[in-house]
Amino acid sequence: MSGPDGDDLRFVALNCTLKPGPEASSTDVLLDAITGELETFGYTGETIRVVDRGVAHGVTADEGDGDGWPAVRRQILESHVLVLGTPIWMGHPSSVAQQVLERLDAFLGETDDRGQLATVDRVALVAVVGNEDGAHHVGAELYQGLSDVGFTLPPGAMAYWVGEAMGSTDLKDLDAIPEKTMDQARTMVANAAHLVTHLSGVGPYPTLE
């Protein structure tokens, strides 16, 4: 299946868990549900566990030898949808999610032939998991960063699950993702797919004077 611009519909999902693979990750569980919904709209793509890619600290597009970010960045630019997934740690996005935002910052210095940021016309979604309240705060931090570097967020652009305060149950421990969380995932993916249709063909962002 192809998008309105003739390209295959693509997504990339970034799992910002602190756990290296193949250790089980609740963030992966939620991202799998979201990307599964994207696949029903004809999207294909990959979920990347950022800690396994050797991403260097910094704020440039390429921090030199051994930096795994340029390959991740290339997949972002080749995709219509970016899904950014993070666990909650001490009420905030994980340090890996913060690192991703810092690397995305390099897009602020790049524009296309319209004078728009290189990421414009791409859609971003957020996935958050944790064992304490704070999903809306974490979403707000990620929304701001993603918007700043050029992504467009559809209505209801976050799906999340949080367990009982000070509890020990993770999303990966449940038999199934709760229906309320799945409803959020379905809604945001449907809105994202609709938005991509417009940004890719019908109504991309304008050329700036």
pLDDT of 57 above 60: yes
Res. 203 pLDDT band, cuts 50 70 90: confident
> Which class is 10-202 in CATH?
alpha beta
* Helix or strand (DSSP H, E) at 181: helix 179-197
Entry pTM: 0.94
pLDDT of 35 above 70: yes
Q: Among 42-46, 153-157, 202-206, which stretch is predicted with the lowest mean pLDDT?
A: 202-206
Contact 97, 16 (CB under 8 A): yes
Contact 41, 82 (CB under 8 A): no
- Which one, of 40, 13, 84, lies nearest residue 189 by Cα? 40
Q: What is the mean pLDDT of the chain?
A: 94
Whole-angstrom distance, CA of residue 182 vs CA of residue 78: 27
Strand runs (DSSP E) across the chain, as ranges?
10-15, 44-49, 81-89, 92-93, 123-130, 158-162
pLDDT at 2: 46
